Each structure stands twice: as structure tokens, then as C-alpha cells.
Amino acid sequence: MASAIGRLIRLLLVFGTIAFIAAEVVLRFGFGLGHPFRYVAHPQIEYMVAPNQDTVVWDTHLKSNAFGMRSDAVGEKHGNELRVLVLGDSVVNGGHETDHDALATTMLNAPATMYLNASAVSWGPQNMLGYLDTFGTFDADATVVVLSSHDAWDAPTFKPLDPNIFRTRVPVSVVAEAVRRRLARYVPALQPEPQPAFADTAILDPVAAARTLLGRPNTCLVLHPEVGELRGERQTEGFRLLKEAAGVTPIIDGAQYMTPEGYSDNIHLNALGQRQLSRAIAACGNLAIGRAAS
């Protein structure tokens, strides 16, 4: 009897090991979960997309360059190249559901034309300003800032990054990480240590940060509407505050380009929405360049 139980245990261990390895291989290499798209904390920006990533997760190609942009590599500007730097939050970034080629900025790229995508999930005006202060404009002819009404109240916290929202490391085991994440809901001790927070800058009022951000030369603002703002009241308090912060900076109202069919939820975009956003960004870039040339 004891030997039969021992054989059964050994058999279960063998099958369990095979199942674990098979699941690990499928999830890691078949679905790309071994290389999640990651973020890093930053003392001036709060956080940003981790640089130099090129991965496919759930059939979605996610890419970042050496400066944490969702763009191809950027080097010195040559000849008559047109370069536009686009700053935004998850609307511009596309999140983890938008393929690199489906981003508005990627669709706008052409020979001698480059739209740079400096963005991250939940960035507000101060995050964008921190990015500009850290990396500059990369010799861009124009800067396009994409903001929504809620950004009038979006201030950074510089708190530790929640690893359940911002993936900051490559998992040693995808299966073990998935089990840990599920069990951590019930066993707090299994929660991973968040990435330490650190800040070398004061937290600004979001409208004041937007005023400084939008007051830079050759800048244009795209006011991106939520679905409810397309269907209902457009002149919300947030839009009013951001328009005032823009001052004489040219503004493109995204409602002129967006339709409800372009949204995947109340604010984020599907592939159609990214294409519609690309038209608003191009129009804004042209306004900023035209103003600079006049």
C-alpha cells in the first residue's frame, strides 16, 4: 500500500513538473508574459516607461526607445527632417493594448517626418513638464501636448509605484508570478515590495504646471474629450481651466476629430480612435510650426 502511494506521489510530481514547465513555456514565449512592458521611477518625472524595450505581449507589439518614448530610436536631426514631440498620458501612450504600429504618432511618421511619443499611463501636466526638463525637446520643430479635462486636477504624488499597476521587473517565473498575484489578494504578505519613491522636485498645482508647460515656445494643445463630453456638455470646468492655462498657445479641440466609435472606454482609444487622434495631433503640430515661422 505504502509503495503504491509513493508511486502515485512520484507520478503526480512528474506530471506536475511537466505541466509547470509547459505552462511556463507557453506563457513566457507564446504570450510574451516573460517580458512585460515595464515602468521605472524617476526623481523629476515621478515615473516613465522603462527605456529600450521591444516585446510582444498577447500579440501586441510594445516598444520604447532609449528615452522611454513609445517611438523608434531618435538621434541627431538631419537635413529637412520635420520633428514633432508629442506629450500625453495613456491616451497618447495607448497602454498595453495598442500595438506600436497602431499608435497615432507611429501612423504620422513618414520619410523625413518624425512624431515622438513621450507619454505614460496617468501622466499629468507636471509629469510632462518633468520629462521636458529632463530630456529636452530633441530639436523638435513643435511640441504637441494632449490633455483632458481631468488633467486640471492631476498632480503627481511620487509615491512608491504599485507593482500591480506598474510592472517594474521581469518575473523569474511567469507561473509563480501569476499564482502570487492571485494569492496576494488574500495574503498581504505576498504583495511585492513597491519600487521606492523619490522626488527631487516640488509638487506643483496642476494648472500652474500646465501654464508653464504650455507656455514653452512652439507648443500647441490638443484638448482630448471624454465620450460623455462628446455627447453632452463640452465646456467643463477642467477644459475651462486648461484653456486659461494655455493663454495665447494655439488649441485644437479634439471633439472636432473624435467620434464615440473611436473609444474603447470613456477616454481611451481603439485603433480607429488612434487614427482620429493622429489627425488632431497633426493639425496641432502644423499650428505650432506655422506660429513659429510667422
pLDDT (tens digit per residue) in 61-104: 999 999 999 999 998 888 889 999 999 999 999 988 899 999 99
Given this model, what pLDDT does residue 162 score? 79
Ranges of beta strands (E only) in the chain are 39-42, 46-49, 53-57, 60-64, 82-88, 113-119, 142-147, 219-223, 251-253
Given this model, what pLDDT does residue 31 score? 47
Given this model, what pLDDT does residue 84 score? 97
Q: What cell numbers appear for 259 in the block?
A: 467620434
Give the span between the Cα atoms of 225 and 273, in whole angstroms.
12
Residue given cell 515602468 in the structure block = 39
pLDDT above 90 (res 151): yes
Which pLDDT band, with edges at 50, 70 and 90, does 244 fall under? very high
Other C-beta atoms closer than 10 Å to the C-beta of 279 total 17
Helix (H) or strand (E) holding 275: helix 271-293
CATH superfamily of 55-158+204-293: SGNH hydrolase (3.40.50.1110)
pTM (2 d.p.): 0.82
Residue given cell 509629469 in the structure block = 127
Residue given cell 522611454 in the structure block = 68
Given this model, what pLDDT does residue 30 score? 46
pLDDT tens-digit series, residues 221-234: 999 999 988 876 66
Give the span between the Cα atoms of 195 and 110, in whole angstroms.
38
Residue given cell 467620434 in the structure block = 259
Helix (H) or strand (E) holding 3: helix 2-25
143 close to 137: Cβ distance less than 8 angstroms: yes
Given this model, what pLDDT does residue 32 score? 47
Given this model, what pLDDT does residue 183 score? 45
Give the span between the Cα atoms of 207 and 154, in whole angstroms.
9
pLDDT tens-digit series, residues 188-220: 555 555 556 667 788 889 999 999 999 999 999
272: number of CA atoms within 13 Å, CB side?
A: 9
Could you tell me which residue, 179 or 87, shows the higher pLDDT? Answer: 87
